[in-house]
């Protein structure tokens, strides 16, 4: 039987008190009522029991979910965040005038490059023809002010005076600058590597197939397969 005090507390208010959501003065009043009214006290205790039961059941369910599941979920979340950030960054980046002009001339790039290449080859041929075939690049580095005797006939180049043609090569010692080639040369990959899976067995473990249109990835999970509905 409810006392006068109990009658003054409706269920919503009792729930709010239970969740610490009432103003301090009202909470104090209800606390006094709880001490005086056994029915109200029992109702309050019931709420505590319900919360305990619910928490225990959720914790048990969470325990049953393997760590790999959580990791998989976090991976998905990470991927979604990365994707969103990238899309946002791309959206924020407005193309500059030069970028637009460059894009507009896209169809002309290849012919222009070919023409430039041909022009460069022609220039190289012309400049080679106009030079003294015996002139070496090292002559340019000779200091003409020191001991220069222009009137004297040019001496035959002795071994000591002849510039070393290998000097350029010395400036770039071999083996250090170029990374070692991989033993197996990679094959070209087609634009789309989407695979069609006809039959698959994950060896008794959980697994999933992901197809993005660019690539197909098969995920073999680290845990044994379960019959849980939460299996992804």
Binding site for other proteins (CB under 8 A): 75, 78-79, 82-83, 86, 179, 182-184, 186-205, 207, 210, 212, 214-222
CA angle in degrees (0–180, nearest 5) for 126-127-130: 90
Cβ-based nearer residue to other proteins, 156 or 185: 185
For strands 216-224 and 205-211, give the pairing: antiparallel
Q: Which is nearer to other proteins, 111 or 180 (CB)?
A: 180
* Shorter beta-carbon distance to other proteins: residue 19 or 75: 75
Could you give the angle at the alpha carbon of 132 between the alpha carbons of 127 and 134, nearest 5°? 130
In the complex with other proteins, the residue whose CB is nearer, 171 or 197, is: 197
The residue (of 129 and 196) whose beta carbon lies closer to other proteins is: 196
For the CB of residue 126, give the shortest distance to other proteins in the complex, in Å.
38
Minimum distance of other proteins from residue 86's CB (angstroms): 8
Return the closest-CA partner of residue 51 out of 95, 16, 4, 19.
19
CA separation for the pair 129, 119 (Å, rounded)? 15
* C-alpha span between 110 and 118 (Å, rounded): 12
215 bridge partner residues: 193
Going along 35-145, which residue ranges are E strands? none
| Residue 14 beta carbon to other proteins: minimum distance, rounded to whole angstroms | 46
Least distance (Å) between residue 91 CB and other proteins: 16
Tell me how far, at minimum, the Cβ of 213 lies from other proteins, in Å.
Answer: 9
Tokens of 101: 């002009």
């Amino acid at each position: 039987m409810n006392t006068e005090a109990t009658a003054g507390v409706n269920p919503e208010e009792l729930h709010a008190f239970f969740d610490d959501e009432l103003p301090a003065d009202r909470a104090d009043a209800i606390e006094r009522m709880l001490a005086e009214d056994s029915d109200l006290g029992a109702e309050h205790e019931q709420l505590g029991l319900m919360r305990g039961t619910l928490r225990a059941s959720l914790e048990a369910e969470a325990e049953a979910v393997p760590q790999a599941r959580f990791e998989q979920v976090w991976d998905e979340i990470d991927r979604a965040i990365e994707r969103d950030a990238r899309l946002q960054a791309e959206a924020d980046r407005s193309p500059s005038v030069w970028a637009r002009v460059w894009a507009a001339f896209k169809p002309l790039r290849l012919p222009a490059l070919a023409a430039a290449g041909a022009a460069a080859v022609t220039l190289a041929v012309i400049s080679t023809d106009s030079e003294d075939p015996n002139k070496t690049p090292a002559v340019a580095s000779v200091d003409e002010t020191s001991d220069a005797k222009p009137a004297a006939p040019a001496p035959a180049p002795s071994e000591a005076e002849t510039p070393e043609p290998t000097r350029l090569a010395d400036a770039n010692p071999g083996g250090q600058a170029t990374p070692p080639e991989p033993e197996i040369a990679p094959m070209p990959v087609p634009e789309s590597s989407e695979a069609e899976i006809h039959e698959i067995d994950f060896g008794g473990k959980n697994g999933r197939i992901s197809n993005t249109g660019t690539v197909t990835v098969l995920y073999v999970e680290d845990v044994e397969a379960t019959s849980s509905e939460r299996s992804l």
